[in-house]
Amino acid sequence: MPETIEKVPITVKVNGKSYTRSVEPRMLLVEFLREALDLTGTHIGCDTSYCGACTVLFNGTTAKSCTMFAFQADRNEILTVEGLEKNNELHALQKAFGDSYGLQCGYCTPGILMSTYQLLSETRNPSEKEIRKAIAGNTCRCTGYQNVFKAIRAAAAQGIGETR
């Protein structure tokens, strides 16, 4: 007989909008974002807390959404990469990555953007060391780090952390 799993109701604010859904207690936050809310910009790269492709902001702090259950987000606030754009316009940080060729296949990019967003929200003019530390939990398998650093430096120079 198939196992019956009781679902739990949760209400989560994602990108400024409130969602109420019933989820299985074992559902991961990244699955909730992608499958229940159709926010597929948050990627799954490893599912083991290593790659950072699933990085979101959880109450303003970066979190790997594959390491949390969806129910843990109940009554909390999440920002995903979709929440960066405004009025159908890419955020200046996203533009900086495009302008600096800060991506290749782009799989790691949403996670790197979220880590960078938090860094620039807190640190106007980050040092090289601070930049490296901020994205240390984000792995780029295309190894395009030099242009990623360039994009972050360009974004910092534009004062992008203050644009939201």
Closest distance of CB 32 from ligand FES, Å: 13
Question: Which residue is it, tokens 């040092």?
Answer: 127
Asked whether position 106 contacts ligand FES by CB under 6 A, the answer is yes
66 alpha carbon, distance to own chain's centre: 11
Asked whether position 40 contacts ligand FES by CB under 6 A, the answer is no
- The backbone torsions φ and ψ at residue 63, rounded to the nearest 5 degrees and listed phi first, read -145, 145
- Measured from the CB atom, the residue of 98 and 159 that comes closer to ligand FES is 98
Asked whether position 108 contacts ligand FES by CB under 6 A, the answer is yes
Q: Measured between alpha carbons, how far is 118 from 116 in angstroms, rounded to an integer? A: 5
- Measured from the CB atom, the residue of 108 and 156 that comes closer to ligand FES is 108
Closest distance of CB 93 from ligand FES, Å: 16
12 alpha carbon, distance to own chain's centre: 16
**83 HSE (CA, 13 A, CB side):** 22
Q: Contact, 81 vs 88, CB < 8 A?
A: no
- Measured from the CB atom, the residue of 14 and 30 that comes closer to ligand FES is 30
Asked whether position 145 contacts ligand FES by CB under 6 A, the answer is no
Using CB under 6 A, count the residues that bind ligand FES.
Answer: 22
Q: Contact, 51 vs 108, CB < 8 A?
A: yes
Closest distance of CB 135 from ligand FES, Å: 11
- Measured from the CB atom, the residue of 84 and 113 that comes closer to ligand FES is 113
The pairing of strands 77-79 and 8-14 is parallel
Which residue of 23, 27, 66, 68 would you call a contact of ligand FES, by CB under 6 A? 66
Task: Return the HEC string of 13-42.
Answer: EECCEEEEEEECCCCEHHHHHHHHCCCCCC
Which residue stretch of 9-17, 19-27, 100-108, 113-121 sits at the interface with ligand FES (rule: CB under 6 A)?
100-108
Residues that bind ligand FES (CB under 6 A): 44-47, 49-54, 64, 66, 103-108, 140-142, 144
